Amino acid sequence: MGVTKHGLSVLIPILLITIVLWMIARIHSGWWWAGFGIFLLFFLFSLWFFRDPYRKISDDPLTIVSPADGKVIEIAKEQSDPFIKEPVLRISIFLSVFDVHVNRNITDGIVHSIERSKGKYLVAYHPRAMYENHRLRVNVISDYGKVAYTQVTGAIARRIVCTLKEGQKVKKGERYGMIRFGSRMDIFLPMEKVDVQIQEKEKVKGGATILARWKNS
């Protein structure tokens, strides 16, 4: 199991502080050991949080995979979408602080556009979080139809990382970013073109769990 490169900017400073506190504690002892212990635990937690496990990705071109680990909190029908321009199914996934936070592309395609929206920091499972929180949406055109997936911050998560660019080709299951320390993802799929393969309250794994299948018609 590796560690995502997006966590290095957090891990390296914590590790350096931990090493310095250890060196000072060896000389002065006392409360310095307590400080060392606190930062050591914080480093180990951060190392675990930024883990990036291997995932086997489906090679079936009709499958649409989960962009993240977490729990499906809602599957809803929406009558319109500004990019897909037809009725869509929205699948909302809540990522707790204990889930893997590396995000992955859900299907092969080309990035049509990337939309960044500044907003609030409501808890990620709040019904209004997908509309009011700080978020980043990726719109993709695949061979079978248009899809979109949105990274949404939460009460603790304050930074969204996305490495994609407009016009870029993406591959299903490929890593493209993360949201730090608890968050949410919303996936938008054309309702008439897909068959959903999961249910509400189901646990999913990024890149490994199949959320839906394109109808082969």
Is 46 tagged catalytic?
Answer: no
Kindly name the residue from 66, 80, 113, 183 that is annotated as catalytic. 183
User: Alpha-carbon torsion 102, 106, 108, 109, what sign?
Assistant: negative
Residue carrying structure tokens 């999961």: 198
C-alpha torsion angle, residues 28, 30, 35, 37 (rounded to 10): 110
Contacts of 154 (CB under 8 A, 6+ apart): 121, 122, 123, 124, 129, 133, 179, 182, 183, 184
Among all residues, which ones are annotated catalytic?
Answer: 183
